[in-house]
Structure 1
């Protein structure tokens, strides 16, 4: 078996978690080759990319169907590369359906190395039967939320809660001072920030309604500033095209486009936000930023989720799931119009009781995920499986 470790992250949230892992492995095992599928964070940390994460980022059931030929082609190329190089460990991050199929296929083809899944599939939400597949195919499951390990108490699979890498990353983030000056933002005035997503399809479906909602709020608050988070540089052109078509383009107000590397500075400075459902909503909660959560999707995706997959979750954003109640209002099952979004967000822009309640609940989520020496726990859990 060769001294190499394969890692796979098929979406942006997985790249966030994978960056921590790649950095740890690179510092501890300098002779190991770290290769696989990763985004710009993992690649910067030292991963040699067979494919970039960006080529796997599809949104919803419909987009998966449309991109199926490409995904199948990549699937077999990845599987065959793993079988050829025979790494001592395969570490799969999030992206559960693809990862389960890959692990099953590797075992079927006789792969003898260790297979680790980092981030538990949402067996607590649907298809609990996947626990049996996890037991058969994986040697270790690393969970990042405190309630997940309990779900496997009767399972033979080794499960370790390692703390939440996002929470630890935020806790140790070296915030820049005066970052706002280049964007002409006054941090003594209220700031509304938009987080429309990290995929092109997400931008196309979420951004226009976020902009329309922002215009209504800018009309109501003369001193309100607007910032827009740009998750990836190649999305900026598309975002500016959509902005030109929106009513907001007619307002003579400065709009700041903030690059991903300054997203935590932006979150810490934001008065209130509108964000596409995903890891970003947890990041906003950990920064104590009142947020309205949206997820615009196609009719087909909504139909499949409701009637075929029978998703009946009480909440979708992780802050609400952890709190077991609504901290951030969600407009996902039945997306509303921009007026509704603006009216919901309006109380969060001033020192209202609604805003104070959210800040208290965000602090509770932060305490829930607080854990000492998270990186050490991760390294301790995974070292026996990569040596």
Structure 2
């Protein structure tokens, strides 16, 4: 298995939750994180090596990432595992999966890239690489069936983990926050490249919020020690060290549950915020060259998963030059103060949560067992 970042680590955790009890003695290894390790997964390389985002940012690390891919490929071609499962990280995994599939090793990919949003031509590459695709949105099944690629809809894994009614008081107690305070959670991204481009603007927005209302509490979860150190370095150089922030290690879900509104970098975290029924402002900045290429490649007007699923702008999307501190702060204040908007978003996100709920652990485990021809699969049906 290979997962390239913290969101993939969470996805793989749900799959392993269902699979490990059926294969208690299996050796499961590759590249992954601490959530996968909970089920005995052994990571051969640090997951952070793959946590790079953006066309030109990847180029800087290309030689190292390609070397890891080649080393893992050679290792697996000798080992010949019962199956290889790529968890997200499509640019790394599809190339590896294609070579393994050609060598006769069954390959599975967990979570489809957004071919319905951009770069739809990748479906041909996916067909060459993937023996079976696991998808997390119901509309994706038809896309893969039409392309002749075996597919299973397993639901969105976190929809069964995140409670339908989050306990705000419990979350605030866990973080030492007042029950009656206005709380903003800021999630600038888990990748170092995301922090590089988002952190300063996000915290400048936080400073504007606190200037407007000194009682507002700002909570910022950090994905790891490296991210925390880099974040502190960035805001220190930007003269923002005096902004009153509560940095926490991990526990992003606790921060989201405690919040009244969330400023979040575009990505899978936006859907997690929706599952917690929280108003949010989606924002994202990247290297200028990457932005100039990517902004012309979209098929639809939305980039945030909640908006894509809703087929409308439920929540604001502020991208690149539009992601100014003032725009972000103004949008967050509107969400804090507009009770009708908050109620409408809560209902829409509740409906979304119901639509995405499946027993992901069991569904994905059954698909893996069927792929490797394990008789246990029939008993899971």
> Is 1:367 aligned with 2:354?
yes
3-state SS of 1:193 partner: strand
Seen in structure 2, the aligned counterparts of structure 1 residues 220 and 244 have a Cα distance that, compared at 3 Å, is same
Hey, what does 2:249 align to over in structure 1? 259
CA RMSD in angstroms comes to 2.2
Q: Conserved in 1, the CA contact under 8 Å of 2:134 and 2:151?
A: yes
1:326 to 275, 292, 313: 313
Hey, what does 2:6 align to over in structure 1? 12
> Is 1:194 aligned with 2:186?
yes
TM normalised by structure 2 equals: 0.91
How far, CA to CA, are the matches of 1:250 and 1:32 in structure 2? Answer: 51
TM normalised by structure 1 equals: 0.90
Q: Which aligned pairs between 1:234-249 and structure 2 lie closer than 5 A?
A: 234-246=226-238, 248-249=240-241
> Is 1:74 aligned with 2:68?
yes
Question: Could you report, residue by residue, the CA deviation over 1:154-178 in whole angstroms, capped at 9, with x for unpaired residues?
Answer: 2322111011112122249997975
Hey, what does 2:277 align to over in structure 1? 288
150-159 or 52-61, which deviates more:
150-159
How far, CA to CA, are the matches of 2:23 and 2:202 in structure 1? Answer: 45
Seen in structure 2, the aligned counterparts of structure 1 residues 53 and 274 have a Cα distance that, compared at 3 Å, is same
Q: Conserved in 1, the CA contact under 8 Å of 2:286 and 2:320?
A: no
How far, CA to CA, are the matches of 2:352 and 2:62 in structure 1? Answer: 37
> Is 1:120 aligned with 2:112?
yes
3-state SS of 2:104 partner: coil
Q: Conserved in 1, the CA contact under 8 Å of 2:84 and 2:107?
A: yes
Question: Could you report, residue by residue, the CA deviation over 1:110-158 in whole angstroms, capped at 9, with x for unpaired residues?
Answer: x222111111122212333332333333221110111100112323221
> Is 1:84 aligned with 2:78?
yes
1:95 to 89, 93, 97: 89
Hey, what does 1:304 align to over in structure 2? 293
Q: Conserved in 2, the CA contact under 8 Å of 1:306 and 1:312?
A: no
278-287 or 178-187, which deviates more:
178-187
Q: Which aligned pairs between 1:342-353 and structure 2 lie closer than 5 A?
A: 342-353=329-340
Q: Conserved in 1, the CA contact under 8 Å of 2:32 and 2:47?
A: yes
Aligned residues: 373
3-state SS of 1:27 partner: coil
3-state SS of 2:146 partner: coil
Hey, what does 2:366 align to over in structure 1? 380
3-state SS of 1:88 partner: coil
Seen in structure 2, the aligned counterparts of structure 1 residues 339 and 177 have a Cα distance that, compared at 3 Å, is closer
Q: Which aligned pairs between 1:99-178 and structure 2 lie closer than 5 A?
A: 99-108=93-102, 111-171=103-163
Question: Could you report, residue by residue, the CA deviation over 1:193-233 in whole angstroms, capped at 9, with x for unpaired residues?
Answer: 11011112211211111111111111212321111111122
How much does 1:312 deviate? 4.2
Seen in structure 2, the aligned counterparts of structure 1 residues 34 and 18 have a Cα distance that, compared at 3 Å, is same
How far, CA to CA, are the matches of 2:209 and 2:187 in structure 1? Answer: 16
Hey, what does 1:313 align to over in structure 2? 300
Q: Which has the higher contact order (CA 8 A, sep 6+)?
A: 2
How much does 1:234 deviate? 2.2
How much does 1:356 deviate? 2.6
Hey, what does 1:28 align to over in structure 2? 22
Seen in structure 2, the aligned counterparts of structure 1 residues 384 and 172 have a Cα distance that, compared at 3 Å, is farther
> Is 1:185 aligned with 2:177?
yes
How far, CA to CA, are the matches of 1:21 and 1:331 in structure 2? Answer: 33
Q: Conserved in 2, the CA contact under 8 Å of 1:10 and 1:57?
A: yes
How much does 1:46 deviate? 1.4
How far, CA to CA, are the matches of 1:208 and 1:180 in structure 2? Answer: 25
Hey, what does 1:4 align to over in structure 2? none
Seen in structure 2, the aligned counterparts of structure 1 residues 339 and 166 have a Cα distance that, compared at 3 Å, is same
1:37 to 18, 31, 37: 31
Unpaired runs of at least 5, structure 1: 1-6
> Is 1:277 aligned with 2:266?
yes
1:47 to 19, 33, 41: 41
Unpaired runs of at least 5, structure 2: 375-381
67-76 or 92-101, which deviates more:
92-101
